[in-house]
Amino acid sequence: MLLRTVASRPALAMRLTTAAAVNKNAIRTIMGKSMIARGLSTTPVGRSGNPPMSFPCIDRLETRQRDLLSGPEPTYEKVVTGYKVYNHKAPYALDYGGMLKSFDLAYETWGTLNADRSNAILIHTGLSGSSHAHSHPENLKPGWWEKFIGSGKAIDTDKFFVICTNVLGGCYGSTGPGSVDPETENRYATTFPLLSVNDMVRAQFLLLDSLNINKLYASVGASMGGMQALCAAALHSERVGRTISISACARSHPYSIALRFAQRQALMSDPNFNRGFYYDGVLPHVGMKLARSIATVTYRSGPEWELRFGRRRRAPDQPPMLCADFLIETYLDHQSESFCLNYDANSLLYVSKAMDMFDISHSVTERLRVQRANTENMLYANGNNASGVSNGTVCMNVNERPKSATGVSNVESNEQIVDDLVAGVKNAMQPTLVLGVQSDILFPVTQQKEIADILRKAGNKNVTYYELDAMYGHDTFLIDLVNVGGAIKGHLENSV
């Protein structure tokens, strides 16, 4: 952007001459911008008696950027191995008007499906989760929920046939923005259609159809997985026996939407993002790192970090640094750096946006159903030809402006919102466990209480709500084996 704002050399000279007559400091400012635009150092020299600050963090980023010019390939394409793939060969219409000519869904299984195929449990993942929830002979690497799944564990593979997928839109074997579009033989990038959580869940039920599983014993998920579990219970109620929703919501709220928006803005501001078409160039490493730093802050809690890091510095005997100085800063730096090449940036955009748009309300669900039906009708009329089907856009067009009417509010009353939510879950009568964590700032416990409340108001007589006082924040579902695992096991194995 600076290259656009700095004029030609004659214009710049005139600007500098004018500035000299006004303020010498302005010259330094303009020259600094010019030097930045040309990639030159702007370290001050001359009269200052203070040495310039060192920026080892920026040095590392610059080195990493140079390394990325010649590789390495993104490791997310190799993160998960040993999964199976369900290939859906027919066109798949989506809630926001787009479609996929076909799609793949990566999945892994554990345990044995019984004779009447009634013991299947579907585990739904969070935003960046893969299908590898637990290790198995084809992939011995510990899974993301390793301690919760297995013989005698919270989800007992001696009793249940356990399935976990990588969601549609992901990058661990399922079709997503990084996949090759069969129509163009190029990666979709941001020509990939916008997705809803409902789209992800419907794809999972198509997988179940292919496995001849008519009804799940249980639908289980945390975070975005908890959204999917609620969606499965509400929209596929006749096919779900029990529901477990952990640290999730019935509709995304402004605070979590704002946090994910900040992540996407940080990512899209990376010059290498290139509007999503970065696969043949340098990956948006810096933007991904910033986005993950923001996310990591939301996943844990202040009390945990007080105990874990306090105000300790990496080198307390050294002067303060503007780069990572406190131990909490070095933790964020490490966590975000390790994530950069392990997840596709476009998948982060699409899946996080699907989270933002999630709302189980009847009016929203019905509107999406109608939009999808219109796409299906168009496909049918065109003989399953996708011509004329729009895949939408990730960003607002530069000429668009949000519609607003100053002084006029269309916001419903709280009573109307609750009634709409209740209508949205009117079919979700399964025994349901809802878990919340008091230290969770991303999905506060009020949101899990809302899930339990609307289910009860809809007539579900078998809703259990637990609120944990664990200090680990949103990530408690990954850590607290005793409380989270115990609650899951009890709900799955107790007679109803």
Determine the Cα–Cα distance for residues 335 and 297; give it in Å rounded to an integer: 11
| Distance (Å) of CA 261 to CA 19, 83, 273, 351, 356 | 39, 32, 16, 12, 9
Instruction: Say whether 59 is catalytic.
Output: no
Determine the Cα–Cα distance for residues 126 and 114; give it in Å rounded to an integer: 28
- Cβ-contact 335, 292 below 8 angstroms: yes
- Cβ-contact 244, 162 below 8 angstroms: no
Determine the Cα–Cα distance for residues 417 and 361; give it in Å rounded to an integer: 8
- The token duo for 307 is 């105990």
CA-nearest of 213, 193, 189, 199 to 168 is 199
The H or E element spanning position 246 is strand 243-246
The residue from 34, 223, 293, 301 that is catalytic is 223
DSSP characters for 49-78?
SSPPPP-HHHHHHHHHHHHHHT-PPPGGGT
Instruction: Please give the backbone phi and psi of residue 331, each rounded to the nearest 5 degrees, phi first.
Output: -65, -50
CA-nearest of 195, 144, 131, 188 to 169 is 195
The residue from 474, 475, 480, 491 that is catalytic is 474
The residue from 440, 453, 475, 480 that is catalytic is 440
Peptide bond into 137 cis (omega under 30): no
Determine the Cα–Cα distance for residues 41 and 33; give it in Å rounded to an integer: 10
- CB neighbours of residue 403 within 10 Å: 5
Instruction: Show Cβ contacts of residue 46 under 8 Å, excluding neighbours closer than 6 positions.
Output: none
Instruction: Say whether 67 is catalytic.
Output: no
Buried b (16+ CB within 10 A) or exposed e, 208-242: beebebeebbbbbbbbbbbbbbbbbbbbbeebbbb
Instruction: Say whether 132 is catalytic.
Output: no
| Distance (Å) of CA 438 to CA 56, 150, 300, 444, 469 | 38, 28, 12, 7, 5
Instruction: Please give the backbone phi and psi of residue 68, each rounded to the nearest 5 degrees, phi first.
Output: -70, -20
Task: Please list the active-site residues.
Answer: 223, 440, 474
